């Protein structure tokens, strides 16, 4: 039995050896260090996750952009619709303007002719009222009769078959029905007043159209605006040629780049008038005002003028009266102000009229150079 066991062990020995060799080999294989490979796999997984997050964010951004694009397309469609409506409105406005111009051209009477007709009607009405007064006086005194010789006799003696006047003028008298005449004249006056009202309304309509037409084309040439209150009016780029502005109130009026050929400004109130880059100088100006410059770039200088923000380069500004003129934010470069009157005055609660001025190589009113006065003339007026 022992022998059989021994023989069995001998037969198992090679198998055991083979198993031990296999185990050793497997142990060698599983003992390889895989730390770096695991880290690479983890890093790759992290990179994939980040890439997926980036893709998701990009998809969201694309969706947002698509939404914004659709909104912009909607806005563009709305704007195109508005543009079409505005173009239609402009066309309608131009058509209406042209129709008004045609009406004006087709009018049988000009404004001046209508005024003449109105004056004639006024004169006629006045003369008729005078006639009515005379007839009324006759009726009031109809109890008496005045002979041609001047005698006054009772009315009942007229045409009684006896000559009661020394000259016999009380017989064969033909009476005028004064009351009937007064009624007829009153009807005439009423008719004239209706015509007068119609013409007046027509004249007002023409004058209103005339002003609208002038405002549309910024043309106010040839008007008589003397003594008118035009405070704060904006006549920028307007044609004021041959306009009478004498003694008009032009306080705070803007006259920049206006046509001023033969304009009468005598006696006008020019407080804070801003008048630069004028086409030609006016024919007349208020006292202490001057116009200087070239044909298309003239400026009106005077007391309390508004010259804010102007740039004066190599300008002859000698001997001007700029008392109280508002010169804030202006630049004087290589210019000459010698002999010019400039005063410092408040323009509001916190500023005076000479603040924020740039002075460069300019002759001050007292004859000194601004460069030698600390680059200012404010102390050398």
DSSP letter at 174 equals P
Assess if residue 142 is contained within a domain. Answer: yes
Percent of the chain beyond pLDDT 90? 29
Contact 234, 215 (CB under 8 A): no
Question: Looking at residue 307, what is its pLDDT?
Answer: 92
Assess if residue 179 is contained within a domain. Answer: yes
Distance between CA atoms of residues 201 and 193, nearest Å: 12
Question: Looking at residue 318, what is its pLDDT?
Answer: 94
Of 295, 211, 210, 225, the residue nearest 264 (C-alpha): 225
Distance between CA atoms of residues 281 and 195, nearest Å: 45
Assess if residue 274 is contained within a domain. Answer: no
Distance between CA atoms of residues 287 and 273, nearest Å: 14
C-alpha count within 13 angstroms, C-beta hemisphere, residue 353: 18
Assess if residue 303 is contained within a domain. Answer: no
Range of the domain at 143: 111-217
Q: pLDDT tens-digit profile of 333-344?
A: 999 999 999 998
Give the total number of structural domains in the chain.
1
Strand partners, 269: 249
Question: Looking at residue 292, what is its pLDDT?
Answer: 92
- What is the full per-residue pLDDT of the chain (381 aa) written as tens digits? 444 444 444 555 555 555 555 555 554 444 455 567 777 777 778 877 888 888 888 888 777 777 877 777 777 777 677 667 766 666 766 676 666 556 555 554 455 665 666 666 666 666 655 555 555 555 444 567 788 888 888 877 888 888 889 888 888 876 554 445 556 656 666 666 666 566 666 555 555 545 555 555 677 888 888 998 989 888 888 888 999 999 999 999 999 999 999 999 999 999 999 999 998 999 999 999 999 988 778 999 999 999 999 988 888 999 999 999 999 999 999 999 999 999 988 877 788 888 899 999 999 999 999 999 999 998 998
Assess if residue 57 is contained within a domain. Answer: no
Q: Hey, what long-range contacts does 126-134 have (CB within 8 A, 24 or more apart)?
A: 128/185, 128/188, 128/189, 128/192, 129/189, 131/185, 132/182, 132/185, 132/186, 132/189
| pTM for this predicted structure | 0.48
Assess if residue 209 is contained within a domain. Answer: yes
State residue 162 phi and psi, 5-degree precision: -125, 140
Assess if residue 89 is contained within a domain. Answer: no
Assess if residue 378 is contained within a domain. Answer: no
């Amino acid at each position: 039995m022992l022998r059989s066991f021994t023989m069995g062990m001998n037969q198992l020995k090679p198998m055991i050896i083979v198993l031990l060799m296999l185990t050793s080999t497997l142990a060698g294989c599983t003992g390889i260090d895989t730390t770096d490979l695991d880290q690479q796999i983890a890093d790759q997984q992290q990179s994939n996750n980040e890439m997926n997050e980036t893709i998701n964010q990009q998809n969201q951004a694309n969706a947002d952009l698509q939404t914004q694009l659709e909104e912009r397309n909607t806005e563009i469609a709305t704007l195109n619709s508005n543009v079409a409506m505005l173009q239609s409105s402009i066309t309608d406005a131009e058509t209406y303007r042209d129709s008004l111009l045609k009406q004006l051209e087709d009018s049988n009477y000009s404004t001046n002719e209508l005024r003449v007709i109105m004056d004639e009607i006024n004169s006629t009405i006045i003369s008729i009222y005078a006639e009515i007064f005379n007839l009324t006086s006759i009726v009031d005194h109809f109890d008496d009769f005045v002979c041609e010789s001047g005698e006054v006799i009772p009315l009942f003696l007229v045409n009684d078959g006896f000559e009661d006047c020394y000259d016999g003028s009380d017989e064969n008298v033909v009476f005028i029905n004064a009351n009937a005449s007064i009624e007829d004249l009153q009807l005439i006056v009423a008719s004239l007043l209706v015509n007068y009202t119609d013409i007046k309304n027509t004249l007002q309509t023409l004058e209103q159209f005339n002003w609208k037409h002038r405002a549309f084309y910024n043309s106010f040439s040839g008007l008589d605006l003397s003594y008118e209150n035009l405070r704060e009016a904006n006549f920028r780029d307007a044609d004021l040629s041959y306009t009478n502005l004498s003694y008009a109130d032009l306080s705070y009026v803007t006259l920049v780049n206006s046509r001023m050929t033969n304009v009468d400004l005598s006696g006008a109130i020019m407080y804070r008038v801003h008048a630069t880059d004028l086409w030609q100088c006016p024919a007349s100006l208020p006292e202490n005002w001057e116009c200087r410059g070239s044909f298309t770039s003239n400026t009106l200088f005077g007391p309390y003028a508004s010259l804010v923000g102007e740039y004066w380069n190599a300008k002859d500004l000698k001997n001007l009266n700029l008392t109280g003129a508002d010169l804030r934010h202006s630049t004087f470069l290589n210019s000459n102000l010698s002999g010019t009157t400039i005063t410092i005055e408040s323009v509001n609660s916190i500023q005076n009229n000479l603040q924020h001025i740039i002075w460069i190589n300019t002759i001050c009113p007292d004859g000194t150079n601004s460069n030698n006065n600390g680059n200012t003339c404010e102390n050398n007026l």
